[in-house]
Amino acid sequence: MDSAWKESYACWLQYKEIDDASLVERYASYGQRVAVGGVSPVLQSAANECVRGMTSMIGVEPTVSDRITRDATLIIGTKDQVSLEDYGIRTNPFPHLPDDGYVIQTANVGGGVLLLLGKTDRGALYAVHHLLRLMQLRKPVDELAIAEGSRNNVRMINHWDNMDGSVERGYAGQSIFFENGKFADNLERLEDYARLLSSVGINAISVNNVNVGKVETRLITEDWLPEVARVADLFRAYGIQIFLSINYASPVEIGGLSTADPLDPAVREWWSERVANIYRFIPDFGGFLVKADSEHRPGPFTYGRNHAEGANMLGEALRPFGGLVIWRCFVYDCQQDWRDRSTDRARAAYDHFKPLDGAFLDNVILQVKNGPMDFQVREPVSPLFGAMPQTNQVIELQITQEYTGQQKDLCYLVPQWKEILDFDTYARGKGSTVKSVVDGSLFNYAHSGMAAVSNVGRDLNWTGHTLAQANLYGYGRLAWNPEMRIEDVTDEWVRLTFGHDSSVVEQISKMLRESWRIYENYTAPLGVGWMVNPGHHYGPNVDGYEYSVWGTYHFADRDGVGVDRTVQTGTGFTAQYFSPNAEMYESLETCPDELLLFFHHVPYTHRLKSGETVIQHIYNTHFEGVEQVQALREGWRKLKGKIDALRFHNVEERLEAQLANAREWRDQINTYFYRKSGIPDEKNRTIYK
């Protein structure tokens, strides 16, 4: 693999040689002799990563000892293997840290030693990655006193990979896990993926699609469990637990039973035996991820049972082994008639799950999508956050850009995720943010955190679009610490990935930070959502929807556009929020403009808070969006020669495709609404009439 290919493949673990002699001297003073406090697979991974990073950055390969020696210059271990007091450190932060927490401490014993100590061996691995990140960022390490741990105990990646090698909603090539109906043979790539995930603190992964196919259903059988165990062994060494998505009808599909009724004793016994067998192969198996009773997937509804009864049956089977059930709340009737305005998909998750609060076992977690619809470029936060104080929750985000450009168009999602996490639900008064719900602190959940749909595939650069790597990195950093500022996450990723040239850092950071709003400008306006081609979901189709026989979501007619979700005259969705959010969304005067058409059907002449009419806003933003994409392309071209040719051309080609896409969106959306409204663009720009 030549140098340019390595840079594309390495993502943010570049470990480029440092050309600052004084920094190299200081780093090298700590990188001479590494001592490891134990021989667990995770500690060995930590030591290997430390050696890899230091050798590459400072040109000195440390010697490594598997026991603590007084002449060690860097020590990797756990709090039980190394005493802080032995190194003159009297303050002990470990009692205040979560299980994955760690300490990075510079001690001046014997000329200087760096202590990288975890509360567990996983924490020690995170400490190593933290130190290597500081070195890549060219930060001083002589006076470090860091004590850190994640607020979220679940930090998960969901793969939608199929065993034929395809990836549902995957935009970066074939699956890294599967090919031709079996597990892929490239374990080196899987290990490099585990390294990437562990470097940003990911601790759980589900490896197969939530829409479990016929072949994938057999992953929990003895025929396939040895292969699952092989993958679990690899990820375990990087502190990552394996989960499997399951078919709820497995007792029928592979068990020979006539029913999958969760209250049937034979079904319960079948799952208990199946789970016990899984743990014989994978002692630290994480548990099951389940999509049930939605989009034609089987579930407890078939037998007249509810979600709690369905999930608890699996929870009881997993509980003796410490396993979890992660039950997705993406549940709605995809065959309902969208022309009937008394039905509202946005209401579905809350209506299904809110009445069941307190009915789920303590090892069941509800996985709630960030919004009530489906990963749109703009939609409100799901009202389920804060509405179930007695039920564990994780938030589900989507790193792969299904409705946000599919990694052809640049759309950096960290700003969107920050808005969502910072949103105040008012569930227990002011300050009841989404991040405080999903980190478990607001309601003292036993299990909580964040999950996201992966955006990686077998493309050389993992994500198809080189800049889409920033979404994977950004998700991991926010899952670890949701308080991180957008600017800091962005600056880290750019410097780790492309180096420290100020013009490169400034230009790419600006492109990333602005890209979400740019994408929103030329696609669906004012929170109306969708308007994409059915099936593959890329490109404009104003009346497009997966189940298009029932019409559209936006209800545009000659008089106006938008969905009335008010209590007074619409679907009543606004009532699912706590006060004052419910009142804010209910009122035309206080509803935020960016969500206006999600909550209200308004005339085209309705004036926004900016003073623009709705129709003129649609025209203006779609023309502006194209101009902004042109500026993205020109800004990137200024970096030619400052970035290796492989990555430069990859991004340049994607920006060219994005510009064509933006023009198509502009022309179709503006033409559609001109024809609907009959109101011309007041600036007299070309609209295809």
Catalytic residue among 216, 344, 402, 439: 402
Amino acid in position 421: L
Residue 487 CB burial class (10 angstroms; 0-12, 13-18, ≥19): exposed
Q: Is 487 a catalytic residue?
A: no
d(CA 292, CA 328): 8
Catalytic residue among 61, 179, 264, 295: 295
d(CA 34, CA 250): 49
Amino acid in position 433: T
Q: Is 402 a catalytic residue?
A: yes
**DSSP code at position 216:** G
What DSSP element (H or E) covers 76?
strand 74-78
What DSSP element (H or E) covers 113?
strand 113-118
Catalytic residue among 121, 161, 316, 374: 374
d(CA 120, CA 34): 18
Specify which residues 369 forms β-bridges with.
396
Return phi, psi of residue 429, to 5°.
Answer: 85, 180
Return phi, psi of residue 643, to 5°.
Answer: -130, 145
Return phi, psi of residue 147, to 5°.
Answer: -130, 115
Tokens 């509980």 label which residue?
Answer: 319
Q: DSSP labels for 494-537?
A: HHHHH-S-HHHHHHHHHHHHHHHHHHHHHSS-TT----B-TTT-
Q: Is 295 a catalytic residue?
A: yes
Tokens 């009532």 label which residue?
Answer: 575
| 264-302: b (≥16 Cβ within 10 Å) or e | beebbebbbebbeebeebbeebbbbbbbbbbeebbbbbb
Q: DSSP labels for 45-108?
A: HHHHHHHHHHHHHHS---EEESS--TT-SEEEEETTTS-SGGGT-----GGGS-TT-EEEEEE-
CA nearest 141: which of 202, 53, 71, 69?
53
d(CA 547, CA 151): 39
In three-state secondary structure terms, 41 is helix
Give the residue numbers marked as catalytic.
295, 374, 402
